[in-house]
């Protein structure tokens, strides 16, 4: 089959020609969407997010932790405004979790001193809250330059294991995300699916919208050509 400019410059010829080349482009795009969609549905999203690696942590009864400083007293003495305050357990010890906007910090519930989360704390929290074991590299996160796979501008720690699994722990001791090789494989195809392979989170950009418009145009032009074809057969 030869593909070139139509010999007769009738509107039908140009229409067939435009539909053919548009169809080639759209077919490649639809193939990409189909393959990436297949990858994204091949595993349960809970498996992708590493949920099977999590382990339930039994919270101790903090009322038996001994005398605790009154929460309202700590909030009143805080140098920063406090939107919310909660008594939580950090590796079995009672601490107050204070929050103002997106900022979160911990206060020792017994002494009232600020309780920063250390690298050994982060590793211990990962060992306690997941099924992961063994040594790991613990790195401090820079909220101004977060890792691509985290997608959050928050302080905390990255705990990286030898098998490529990385666990992100927030400054309040919460396990934010578990990233495995399977998650990164999924995330790569997610970026291709939304045509944003760099940031992998923008689902509203000109390239994606333009591709969707072209796909719709190709379908509509194909329907028009079907009616044109059968119309010509009837006249014959």
| Alpha carbons 99 and 120: distance in angstroms, whole number | 23
Residues 92 and 170 in one domain: yes
The rounded distance, in Å, linking the Cα atoms of 52 and 131 is: 9
**Is residue 117 a part of any domain in this protein?**
yes
DSSP 142-174: -TTS--TTT-----EEEEE-TTS-EEEEETTS-
Domain that holds residue 77: 51-179
Give the integer Cα–Cα distance in Å for 139 and 35.
Answer: 35
Residue 33 lies in a domain: no
DSSP 22-77: HHHHHHHHHHHHHHHHHHHHSS-HHHHTTGGGB-PPPPP-GGGS-----HHHHHHH
73 shares its domain with 170:
yes
Q: Would residue 208 count as lying in a domain?
A: yes
Q: In this model, does residue 176 exceed pLDDT 50? A: yes
Residue 232 confidence (pLDDT):
64
Residue 165 within a domain: yes
Q: What is the pLDDT of residue 1?
A: 46
Q: Determine, yes or no, domain membership for 142.
A: yes
Percent of the chain surpassing pLDDT 70: 89
Residue 4 domain-assigned (yes or no): no
Q: How many domains does the chain have?
A: 2
Both 69 and 140 in one domain: the answer is: yes
Same-domain status, 134 and 217: no
Per residue in 101-143, pLDDT tens?
A: 888 999 999 999 999 999 999 999 999 999 999 999 999 999 9
| pLDDT the model gives residue 12 | 64
Q: Judge contact between 207 and 197, C-beta under 8 A.
A: no
Q: Tell me: pLDDT of 10 over 90.
A: no
User: What span, in angstroms and rounded, lies between the C-alpha atoms of 97 and 90?
Assistant: 10
3-state class percentages of the chain: helix first, strand second, coil last, to nearest 5: 45, 20, 40
- Same structural domain for residues 82 and 197? no
For the record, the structure tokens of 45 come out as 């999203």
Residues 160 and 188 in one domain: no
The pLDDT > 90 percentage for the chain reads 52
- With contact defined as beta carbons under 8 Å apart, do 62 and 82 qualify? no
Do residues 60 and 171 both lie within one domain? yes
87 — pLDDT class (breaks 50, 70, 90): very high
Is 171 found in the same domain as 57? yes
Q: Is 187 helix (H, G, I), strand (E, B) or coil?
A: helix
Q: Is residue 135 domain-resident?
A: yes
* Residue 58 located in a structural domain: yes
Question: Average pLDDT over the chain, rounded to whole?
Answer: 86
pTM of the model: 0.79
């Amino acid at each position: 089959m030869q593909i070139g400019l139509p010999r007769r410059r009738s509107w039908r010829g140009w229409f067939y020609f435009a539909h053919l080349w548009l169809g080639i482009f759209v077919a490649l795009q639809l193939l990409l969407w189909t393959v990436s969609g297949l990858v994204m549905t091949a595993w349960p999203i809970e498996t992708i997010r590493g949920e099977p690696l999590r382990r339930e942590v039994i919270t101790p009864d903090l009322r038996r932790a001994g005398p605790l400083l009154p929460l309202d007293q700590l909030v009143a003495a805080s140098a920063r405004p406090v939107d919310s305050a909660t008594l939580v357990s950090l590796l079995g010890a009672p601490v107050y979790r204070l929050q103002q906007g997106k900022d979160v910090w911990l206060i020792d519930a017994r002494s009232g001193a600020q309780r920063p989360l250390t690298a050994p704390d982060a590793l211990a929290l990962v060992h306690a809250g997941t099924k992961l074991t063994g040594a790991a590299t613990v790195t401090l996160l820079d909220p101004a330059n977060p890792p691509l796979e985290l997608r959050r501008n928050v302080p905390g720690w990255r705990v990286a294991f030898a098998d490529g699994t990385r666990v992100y722990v927030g400054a309040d001791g919460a396990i934010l995300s578990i990233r495995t090789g399977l998650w990164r494989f999924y995330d790569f195809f997610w970026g291709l699916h939304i045509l944003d392979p760099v940031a992998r989170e923008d689902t509203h950009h000109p390239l994606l919208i333009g591709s969707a418009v072209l796909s719709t145009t190709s379908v509509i032009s194909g329907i028009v050509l079907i009616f044109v074809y059968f119309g010509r057969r009837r006249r014959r």
